[in-house]
Structure 1
């Protein structure tokens, strides 16, 4: 891991996206149903985010995963992020 990391909220804002827009992109591009409220929860505590979802958000925000802060206790959960 590198020394510089950005939060999920900051990464989203840098792309000028709303939480609802991210929710829509996840559904349309990746087939993942995730509500605006779920996006908001992950922005507050992303320590239990799935590996797949972290990769999708990295692509959407155009920032490598290593540069996104997923929490001090993050293990990038290997649970499946089920498509809709």
Structure 2
């Protein structure tokens, strides 16, 4: 899909879940996130929302949902 390709192009590793959402299996800013977590998570959220909007998708599909081992953003 174009959306997952665009996310890959931004350095993410998107994976579609059984429920149809897209988990981002990595954070392209992981090293920086260790020291500035809140800032980097907001950056990720708005970057992904921009990718969604540019691709004609609803930007609100991107939400903060931090869990260990993946990016803090999920696309529902």
The TM-score bracket by the shorter chain reads 0.3 to 0.5
TM-score with structure 2 setting the length: 0.38
Q: Give the strand-richer structure, 1 or 2.
A: 2
Instruction: Give the number of the structure with larger relative contact order, counting CA–CA contacts within 8 Å between residues 6 or more apart.
Output: 1
Q: TM-score, normalised by structure 1?
A: 0.35
